[in-house]
């Protein structure tokens, strides 16, 4: 009340009130809260709003609550059911009263993720996004990185178990002992270490600037990188990556037995996020 009753503190245009019981308090602070305001912006009527009981369920901190959206597994279930438009199951599990409430919650979460996380916005002013941020941002991060992170580790494992090294792969590409030694002797090219192999794997997964960076950093030509990432030679870097990706495709039942596509990786990210499916 010190804030509300001190004329030097409120924002411009907000009148002071002596107490919460003052009749003018409702008129000044009577707007919908954030979620209600968002629902109203969609053109919804009052049937789309959630009451205190439902809000309490959805934001419960209980670790065994089947409704709280603060648990990644519950969030995964909500999204999975919504993907197939199973409104009845969503309403039964999460206690929504009608389909409009379900659609509004889904739209709100998507809006929050897109605008506040993907665009790097500040989520702190938003109540629900603040409490969901850790769960949602961890999923978004997995979705973007699960393929590359697994491939880094798969390649480092192959190098360790097959007792190969940076020298073996770089020499195949350059046919130059001196340059191979120069490139691989650096402390950052111990390919049994996941961190050291990242830039090389990125060159074949994403190409573009990653390849350019390797050319500039190590003095490799475009033709030499083509040879490094070639999949015809069974001993090349590219062939090992292709073998790893084929192993993943079989293990995780991807549609293409040779390589998981973007949709497969997105599904694996969701399973890892919600149920630790991969690890």
Length of the chain as a residue count: 279
In this prediction, residue 97 carries a pLDDT of: 94
3-state secondary structure 206-255: CCCHHHHHHHHHHCCCHHHHHHHCCCCCCCCHHHHHHHHHHHHHHHCCCC
Exposure string for 75-105, b = 16+ CB within 10 A, e = fewer: bbbbbebbeeeebeebbeebebeeebbbbbb
Cα diameter, the chain: 86
Distance CA 274, CA 209 (A): 33
Name 58's Cβ contacts closer than 8 Å, sequence gap at least 6. 50, 67, 68, 69, 94, 105
Query: Which pLDDT value is given to residue 79?
Result: 87
User: Tens-digit pLDDT profile for the chain (279 aa)?
Assistant: 444 445 554 444 555 555 555 555 445 445 555 677 788 888 998 898 888 788 888 888 787 889 988 888 888 889 889 989 999 999 999 999 999 999 999 998 887 777 655 555 554 544 454 545 555 555 555 666 788 888 988 899 888 888 899 999 999 999 999 999 999 998 788 998 888 999 999 998 888 889 999 999 999 999 999 999 999 999 999 999 999 999 999 988 888 888 888 888 877 776 665 555 555
Helix (H, G, I), strand (E, B) or coil at 65: coil
Taking the mean position of all CA atoms in its chain, how far away is CA 202? 18
Task: Give me the pLDDT at residue 141, please.
Answer: 58
Domain residue ranges of the chain, discontinuous segments joined by +: 1-30, 35-121, 144-275
Distance between CA 59 and CA 105 in Å, rounded?
A: 13
Phi, psi angles (nearest 5°) of residue 225? -70, -35
**Residue 8: how many CB atoms within 10 A of its CB?**
5
List C-alpha distances in Å: 137 to 71, 118, 278: 13, 9, 18
CB 141 within 8 A of CB 130: no
Answer whether 0.85 is exceeded by the pTM.
Answer: no
- The pLDDT value recorded for residue 226 is 94
* Sign of the alpha-carbon dihedral angle for 239, 241, 246, 251: positive
């Amino acid at each position: 009340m010190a804030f509300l009753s001190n004329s030097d503190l409120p924002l411009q245009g907000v009148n002071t009130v002596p107490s919460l019981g003052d009749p003018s308090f409702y008129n000044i602070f009577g707007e919908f809260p954030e979620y209600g305001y968002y629902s109203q912006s969609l053109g919804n009527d009052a049937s789309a709003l959630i009451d205190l009981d439902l809000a309490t369920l959805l934001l419960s901190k209980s670790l065994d609550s089947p409704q709280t959206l603060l648990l990644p597994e519950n969030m995964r279930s909500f999204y999975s059911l919504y993907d197939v438009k199973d409104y009845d199951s969503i309403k039964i599990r999460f206690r929504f009263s009608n389909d409009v409430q379900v659609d509004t919650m889904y739209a709100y979460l998507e809006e929050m993720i897109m605008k506040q996380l993907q665009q790097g916005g500040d989520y702190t002013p938003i109540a629900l996004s603040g409490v969901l941020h850790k769960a949602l941002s961890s999923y978004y991060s997995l979705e973007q990185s699960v393929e590359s992170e697994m491939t880094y580790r798969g390649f480092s494992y192959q190098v360790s178990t097959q007792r190969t090294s940076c020298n073996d792969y770089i020499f195949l590409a350059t046919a130059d002992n001196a340059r191979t030694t120069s490139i691989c002797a650096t402390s950052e090219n111990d390919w049994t270490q996941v961190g050291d192999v990242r830039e090389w794997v990125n060159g074949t997964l994403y190409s573009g600037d990653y390849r350019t960076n390797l050319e500039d950093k190590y003095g490799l030509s475009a033709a030499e990188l083509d040879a490094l990432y070639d999949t015809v030679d069974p001993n090349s870097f590219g062939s090992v990556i292709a073998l790893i990706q084929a192993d993943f495709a079989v293990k995780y039942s991807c549609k293409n037995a040779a390589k998981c596509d973007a949709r497969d990786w997105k599904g694996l990210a969701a399973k890892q996020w919600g149920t630790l499916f991969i690890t």
